[in-house]
Structure 1
Amino acid sequence: MVLLVPLSLCLSLLFASASFAKNAKRGVSFPSSNNQADIQNLNQTKSEISWQYDWGIYPAPFLAESGIEYVPMQWGAGGIENLSNAMASQQSKHLLAFNEPDFDQQSNIDPNFAAQLWMQYIEPLKSSGIKLGGPAVSSGATGVPWLQAFFSACSNCTIDFIPIHWYGVGVEGFYDYMWQVHSQFGNRTVWVTEYADTSLNETDVESFLNQTTTYMDGLDWVERYAWFGYFRPENGSAYSKFDLTSSS
């Protein structure tokens, strides 16, 4: 028969912990289209994971029942009129905002329009004590300029933390980008909600993951992070967290 076995590239550091202690920073990005047993397995193991998200505002039932904090995301402009009810029904304490709005293959929102949406639908949530995460731009050439335009257009917006995405090879570029966003936008705290070393060498990726998790655990302005992603390998990627192992 074929058994699904979770294989963390970081092994003991990211997921497993002999003490069973949760790490408030460490999360997973887990699309609800993935295998339900994967997230259930994670919750039942010696996991340090304390939060999860799936790029939506409502969790699938198996995510809601996993025992891991679910953080809603308003991915794009669609359905934003339902956001307030979604947050209230889940008693959520954090919100992630627009997903890579600078990228035409993601939420693709003009920064001025994003500012209007924010003031109409997101800013009022602050009165309920919800911590508001700004738009999560890509780490490509359009990302920081988009975020600069958004901050200029939304000077009255309350942005408690900035989610960031980063993909590349090697820790230096990742560290430089984190510090750039942190310092350029008012020294706000940061959530790294998507990041991965895109090398196809598993040893290099494991080294990157070990180094970066230790580094971020030591930065007080990095509040949370989630590796991309808690998936099964595809297209030769070395950054996925699950593998298929055959056993008879």
Structure 2
Amino acid sequence: MLWGSKQLSDFDSLVNPGYASQLLFINEPDEPTQSTMAPGDAATLWKQQFQNRAGEGYDLWSPAVTSSTRGEAWMDQFLTACDDCSISHMALHFYDTNPQNLIDYVTHWHSKYGRNIVITEFACENFGGGAQATMDQVWSFYQTVMPWLMSQDYVTAVFPFGFLEDMANVNPDNQLMKGGQLTDLGKYIVYGPY
């Protein structure tokens, strides 16, 4: 992943033909605390650093914007500026406590943009200032969204946020790994059944 323009030299030194099969472009450019980049600037960076990599055998994943309304607006502007870019997958982030909202969000993005979807971050998390979900609600969230996500042929990969020892500012009930071992929720995510 090219997280943002600050990591450009590291990205260039690592990414050579055969290094990997997917490349992910910038992290939450619409979010002031993340890579923060104007859509036109991002399109220019894509054309300079990413577009030529399609010929090296990489699938090129779009910028991963936030699930706020500004994320979709940012993406629209980016795609206008990068209308000839070879984007194989739309990369999404999603944080909310309502599982139907995730389903609707993913469905909307696929319908609107017509590309395969990868969800590179998601969790049952309330960033809106209200109460966080309980452990039972977190379980219900994943037991609703995981079977649905796994049944959509256009959703090619999902990465729940919780495969971390330090959950930072995300509800710790989403934690999928603790002490180097999968939690019960982590086992469900990895093994199903769904």
Mapped contact 2:97–2:133 kept (Cα < 8 A): no
Q: 2:116 aligns with which of 186, 189, 192?
A: 189
Q: Does 1:133 align with 2:68?
A: no
Residue 243 of structure 1: how far off its partner (Å): 4.2
The match for 2:188 is none
Q: Structure 1 residue runs of 4+, over 4 Å off?
A: 233-236
Equivalent residue runs for 1:56-71 within 5 Å: none
Mapped contact 1:233–1:241 kept (Cα < 8 A): no
- In structure 1, C-alpha distance between the alignment counterparts of 2:75 and 2:17, rounded to whole Å: 30
Q: Does 1:124 align with 2:124?
A: no
The match for 1:42 is none
**Matched letter for residue 166 of structure 1:** F
Q: 1:231 aligns with which of 139, 164, 167?
A: 164
Write the deviation string for residues 10-67 of structure 1: whole angstroms up to 9, x where unpaired. Answer: xxxxxxxxxxxxxxxxxxxxxxxxxxxxxxxxxxxxxxxxxxxxxxxxxxxxxxxxxx
The match for 1:207 is 140
Q: Does 1:222 align with 2:150?
A: no
Residue 204 of structure 1: how far off its partner (Å): 1.0
Q: Which runs of 5+ in 2 are unaligned?
A: 126-131, 180-194
TM score, norm. by length of structure 2: 0.82
Q: 1:153 aligns with which of 81, 85, 94?
A: 81
**3-state SS of 2:93 partner:** strand
* Higher share of residues assigned helix: 2
**3-state SS of 2:87 partner:** coil
The match for 1:169 is 97
The match for 2:2 is 74
Q: Which runs of 5+ in 1 are unaligned?
A: 1-72
Write the deviation string for residues 70-98 of structure 1: whole angstroms up to 9, x where unpaired. Answer: xxx11001232453441217621101111
Higher relative contact order (CA 8 A, sep 6+): 1
The match for 2:129 is none
- In structure 1, C-alpha distance between the alignment counterparts of 2:54 and 2:12, rounded to whole Å: 11
Q: 1:241 aligns with which of 158, 162, 176?
A: 176
